[in-house]
Amino acid sequence: MHLLISAINMKSIHAREIICGRPTILIYRGKINEKALKKERFTINELEERLRGDNINSLGDVEYAILETSGSLSVIPKPNKRNAIPEDFNIEPEYEGISYDLVIDGAIMEQNLKAIGKDEKWLKSEVAKFGINPKQALVVTFDGKGQIFCQKKAKFEK
């Protein structure tokens, strides 16, 4: 049944709207759409709660709020209320890459060590700077800037 519904959704936009629904604009150009709220059985309090979840404390700071078919709320703040980004200041930030887990619950992630071009000897020396060995670590990560995060297990049994 799932495959059939997925195939229908892929083939027909109209069927997709019937099966999945359509996003609903709850706030349009800074104004709350009361009809949409009633249609979706959404209260002002629920709307405010969802906005706070997106770190928006005032309805007046929102340009658009869209209730997605998944039930999540997509929020676009007013231009003067959005967070500043480096592009606003003509700044090109350094490349950050991704973080690699090197140790999880005392187990060394060999594949991730290879991916960053390091070995177990290097890992042991880096973890030793935190006063522990890899088996004692709850987690050790290596980020794109070469920084290491290490946290010792709360209880370590030898």
pLDDT of residue 53: 92
Residue 93 has pLDDT above 90, yes or no: no
- Higher-confidence residue: 91 or 12? 91
Residue 52 CB partners (closer than 8 Å, separation 6+):
none
Which H or E run contains 67?
strand 62-67
| Average pLDDT over every residue of 22-41 | 94
Return phi, psi of residue 34, to 5°: -60, -40
Question: Which sequence spans correspond to the domains of the chain?
Answer: 2-81, 100-152
Q: Whole-angstrom Cα distance, residue 30 to residue 58?
A: 11
DSSP string, 106-148: TEE-HHHHHHTT--HHHHHHHHHTTTS-GGGEEEEEE-TTS-E
- CATH of 100-152, picked from 3.30.240.20, 3.50.50.60, 3.40.50.12780, 3.20.20.70, is 3.30.240.20
| Average pLDDT over every residue of 8-33 | 84
pLDDT of residue 20: 72
Tens of pLDDT, residue by residue over 53-86, are 999 999 999 999 999 988 999 999 999 998 888 9
Domain boundaries 2-81, CATH class: alpha beta
pLDDT of residue 83: 87
Q: Global pTM?
A: 0.60
Confidence of residue 11 (pLDDT cuts 50, 70, 90): confident
